[in-house]
Amino acid sequence: MISVEEALNTILSHIKILGTERVSLQDSLGSVLAEDIIASFNVPPLDNSAMDGYAAKAEDLQGASEQNPAKLKISGELPAGYRSKNLLKKGEALRIMTGAPVPEGADTVVMQEDTREDNGNVEVFKEVKSGTNIRRAGEDISEGQVLFKKGIRIRPAHIGSLASIKKALVSVYQRPRVAILSTGDELVDIDGDNSDGKIVSSNTYSLLALVKENGGIPVNLGIGRDTKEVLKEKFLEGLHSDIIISSGGVSVGDYDFVKDVLQELGLEMKFWKVSMRPGQPLAFGMIEGKPAFGLPGNPVSAMVSFEQFVRPAIRKMTGDQNLFRPLITGIAKEELKIKKGKKHFIRCVVTIEEGQYTVSTTGAQGSGMLTSMAVANGLMVVPEDKNCVNPGDTVKVQILDSDFGATKEPAY
């Protein structure tokens, strides 16, 4: 049986980045930029005022104070969005609003709070140095600058910055379509009849959500009965997507046909079974150049396997350089006995106590207990050579929920 590391390396070695597409800026949130962005003009375009106040010459303000204000003649008024046509002369001040371009001849802006207007003149109560309260042309983005490099995942601040240089269309990596098949005769869909020992296919929904969360486009193939014919038909439909994932039917049971059917359709199996818990019976292979994952059926196993293997694959396909969940180091709070020889992923709750991450389990770790995944904000990763974790031990945790933390109070 191969290790988690080997399995991950094998998968990633078969994953290729998808092609690129041009999308409107509004639609680019969460995609990965596929071009270097070069700014074609300065932002801000001109030196402009950072304050409401008066544009002036610093030399006219030398020695100004409460007792001995500098008195300047107001030459006019300039709102934001307009330019002054006149050269500011010695002894003059131009009333100016935040964002308005500083007129020629002025080299400083006095805050309104340090002045008093008086009958066409302004008294300035403070000496202000040259360059004060002026935002320089290009100080945010300068013409010719590489604003963003390809490979970043686009966040709202990127979108705002791209808008400020008029990038209405951006080139991004395509998002993979991910076909999701749930297998099992015991399954019904959310609106199906579950009165006779049937269970609702929760995997369909958790996997759809995981695909979406990670930038893929889910394609729901629904539920496939445990017959080769049905599964064959469903997987053939899945071949229209970029990635195929199934859950269930991949273990050693009498009705576990997923591997056989995929192989009959031409799957080149790369591995089956990974030395981990939960999630051991995982099959991975390539079919018609597309990666196919046979995830285990147990709801927690399916999610944990997705986290470890499908998530990095989707992210690599979308051009993301950041494949993995954030990993933190914390202190275990309780004793935990485990079976040596496998990598364990323990559902846990990370909190912050006195500036330190502390880690407790969510309780019973049965792989059918899906609600524990909802309680957990992380997966404690316990290496193969350990058979226990003791209180006070240092442990590694993959963070599943970026909102984690001990306090949910505002920062101020």
Q: Position of tokens 């599943």?
A: 400
Q: Which of ligand AMP, Mg ion, none does residue 186 bind to, with CB < 5 to 8 Å depending on kind?
A: ligand AMP
> Contact letters (x/-) for Mg ion, 129-168, by CB under 5 A?
----------------------------------------
> Contact letters (x/-) for ligand AMP, 276-305, by CB under 6 A?
--------------------xxxx------
Contacts with Mg ion by CB under 5 A: the residue count is 4
Q: Based on CB atoms, which residue is closest to ligand AMP, 176 or 248?
A: 248
Q: Based on CB atoms, which residue is closest to ligand AMP, 369 or 399?
A: 369
110 neighbors 133 (Cβ within 8 angstroms) = yes
Q: Which of ligand AMP, Mg ion, none does residue 294 bind to, with CB < 5 to 8 Å depending on kind?
A: none
Token pair recorded at residue 144: 């010719």
Q: Based on CB atoms, which residue is closest to ligand AMP, 100 or 179?
A: 179
Show contacts with ligand AMP in window 160-199 (CB under 6 A).
Answer: 182, 184, 186-187, 199
- Residue 253 near ligand AMP by CB under 6 A: yes
Minimum CB separation of residue 376 from Mg ion in Å reads 25
Q: Which of Mg ion, ligand AMP, none does residue 260 bind to, with CB < 5 to 8 Å depending on kind?
A: none
Of 106, 113, 121, 124, the closest CA to residue 75 belongs to 121
Q: Give the phi and the psi of residue 78 in degrees, each rounded to 5.
A: -135, 105
- Residue 132 near ligand AMP by CB under 6 A: no
Which of 104-112, 142-150, 169-177, 245-253 is the region at the interface with ligand AMP (rule: CB under 6 A)?
245-253
Show contacts with Mg ion in window 279-338 (CB under 5 A).
Answer: 297
- Residue 218 near ligand AMP by CB under 6 A: no
- Residue 184 near Mg ion by CB under 5 A: yes
What is the C-alpha to C-alpha distance for residues 152 and 34, in angstroms, rounded to an integer? 8
Q: Based on CB atoms, which residue is closest to ligand AMP, 103 or 297?
A: 297
Q: Which of ligand AMP, Mg ion, none does residue 202 bind to, with CB < 5 to 8 Å depending on kind?
A: ligand AMP
Q: Based on CB atoms, which residue is closest to ligand AMP, 267 or 389?
A: 267
Q: Which residue is nearest to ligand AMP (CB)?
A: 297
What is the C-alpha to C-alpha distance for residues 106 and 89, in angstroms, rounded to an integer? 8
CA 20 to chain centre: 19
Q: Which of 101, 103, 138, 249 binds Mg ion (CB under 5 A)?
A: 249
Minimum CB separation of residue 226 from ligand AMP in Å reads 8
Show contacts with ligand AMP in window 314-373 (CB under 6 A).
Answer: none
Which of 74-82, 127-135, 240-248, 348-356 is the region at the interface with Mg ion (rule: CB under 5 A)?
240-248
Minimum CB separation of residue 194 from ligand AMP in Å reads 11
Which of 90-98, 247-255, 370-378, 383-391 is the region at the interface with Mg ion (rule: CB under 5 A)?
247-255
- Residue 248 near Mg ion by CB under 5 A: yes
Q: Which of ligand AMP, Mg ion, none does residue 108 bind to, with CB < 5 to 8 Å depending on kind?
A: none
What is the C-alpha to C-alpha distance for residues 44 and 165, in angstroms, rounded to an integer? 10
Q: Which residues pair with 212 in a beta bridge?
A: none
Which residues would be at the binding site for ligand AMP (CB under 6 A)?
A: 182, 184, 186-187, 199, 201-204, 247-249, 251, 253, 296-299
